[in-house]
C-alpha cells in the first residue's frame, strides 16, 4: 500500500483537494490534521495515511474505479459532449496524474469500465498481451442464424480491412436476438464488426464484466472504488 511522504500542499494538490496556491487558505477553512494534530504549515511533510480532513481519511493515493457507464458518456478528456469524468467528484477530476479510462467504450455502449490514475496499471490492462476477458450482453436487430457460435470460436474470423484473424470468442445464446459474447481482445468496434461480418447488426451493447469485475449491483452512472491491484 502506498504511503507517500511529501509536503502537505503538494499532496493535497495531487489528490485534487486544492491547488498548491490555495493550500494555505484550505488549511484555514478545513480541519487538516496529522495524527490528530491540526496543521497550518503548508511546508510540513506528511505521510498520506497520517492525514485527515474534518476527521475523514484522505482519498486513496491511487484510485481504481469500476463504473457502470451510462449511454451517452464519452470516454475522452478532449471531446465535446458529456464526458465520463463528469460523473466523478470534482476533486477527482483535478487529480495529478489524471484519472483515465482503461480502454474505451463507445458512447452508446453501457456497462463495466475501469478508470484509474495509475499509468502502469492502465498500460498493463490495455496491452494486447494482457488477455483480459470482456463479457458483453449483445442485442441484435435480426435473429441469430445458428452458426455464429462456431464461427466466433474458430479463431479464423477475419474482420474487414484487417490481416490478422480474431482470437477465439465464446458466445452463449440467451434468446434469438440476445447473446452473451466473451472476448479477450479490444479491437476497434470489435463486437459490432463481428456481428456485421455474419450479416447482423448490434442495436444495444452492454459490457457486463471486465476481467474479474462485473457491474452487478451497480446502477447505470454509479461506480465504486476497488482495492489496489
In order of 28, 48, 59, 154, 216, the CA distances from 7 in angstroms are 16, 10, 17, 56, 40
What value does the mean pLDDT take over residues 170-174? 98
CB 65 within 8 A of CB 87: no
Record the cell numbers describing residue 199, joined without a space.
Answer: 450479416
Chain center to CA of 84: 9
> What is the domain partition of the chain in residue ranges?
5-57, 64-124+215-225, 134-210
Burial class, 32, CB count within 10 angstroms (exposed 0-12 / middle 13-18 / buried 19+): buried
**Phi and psi dihedrals of 71, rounded to 5?**
-65, 140
- Average pLDDT value for residue range 47-72: 97
Q: State the architecture of 64-124+215-225 in CATH terms.
A: 2-Layer Sandwich (3.30)
In this predicted model, what pLDDT tens digit does every residue of 86-110 receive, in sequence order? Answer: 999 999 999 999 999 999 999 999 9
Residue 74 main-chain phi, psi, to 5 deg: -100, 130
Whether 5-57 and 64-124+215-225 share one fold: the answer is no
Q: Which of 59, 79, 106, 147 is catalytic?
A: 106
* Percent of the chain scoring above 70 in pLDDT: 98
Specify the CATH class of 5-57 in words. Answer: alpha beta
Q: Which fold has domain 134-210?
A: Alpha-Beta Plaits (3.30.70)
User: 10 — phi, psi (to 5°)?
Assistant: -65, -40
Whether 117 sits among the annotated catalytic residues: the reply is no
Q: What is the pTM of this model?
A: 0.91
Amino acid at each position: 500500500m502506498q504511503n507517500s511522504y511529501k509536503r502537505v500542499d503538494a499532496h493535497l494538490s495531487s489528490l485534487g483537494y486544492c491547488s498548491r496556491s490555495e493550500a494555505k487558505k484550505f488549511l484555514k477553512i478545513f480541519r487538516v490534521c496529522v495524527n490528530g494534530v491540526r496543521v497550518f504549515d503548508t511546508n510540513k511533510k506528511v505521510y498520506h495515511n497520517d492525514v485527515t480532513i474534518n476527521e475523514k481519511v484522505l482519498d486513496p493515493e491511487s484510485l481504481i474505479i469500476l463504473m457502470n457507464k451510462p449511454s451517452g458518456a464519452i470516454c475522452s478528456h478532449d471531446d465535446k459532449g458529456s464526458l465520463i469524468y463528469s460523473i466523478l467528484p470534482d476533486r477527482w477530476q483535478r487529480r495529478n496524474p489524471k484519472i483515465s479510462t482503461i480502454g474505451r467504450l463507445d458512447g452508446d455502449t453501457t456497462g463495466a469500465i475501469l478508470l484509474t490514475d495509475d499509468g502502469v496499471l492502465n498500460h498493463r490492462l490495455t496491452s494486447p498481451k494482457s488477455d483480459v476477458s470482456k463479457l458483453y450482453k449483445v442485442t441484435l436487430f435480426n435473429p441469430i442464424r445458428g452458426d455464429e457460435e462456431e464461427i466466433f470460436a474458430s479463431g479464423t474470423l477475419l474482420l474487414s480491412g484487417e490481416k490478422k484473424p480474431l482470437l477465439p470468442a465464446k458466445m452463449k445464446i440467451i434468446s434469438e436476438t440476445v447473446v452473451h459474447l466473451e472476448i479477450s481482445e479490444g479491437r476497434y468496434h470489435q463486437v459490432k464488426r463481428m456481428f456485421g461480418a455474419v450479416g447482423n447488426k448490434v442495436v444495444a451493447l452492454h459490457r457486463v464484466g471486465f476481467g474479474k469485475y462485473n457491474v452487478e449491483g451497480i446502477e447505470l452512472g454509479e461506480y465504486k472504488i476497488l482495492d489496489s491491484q
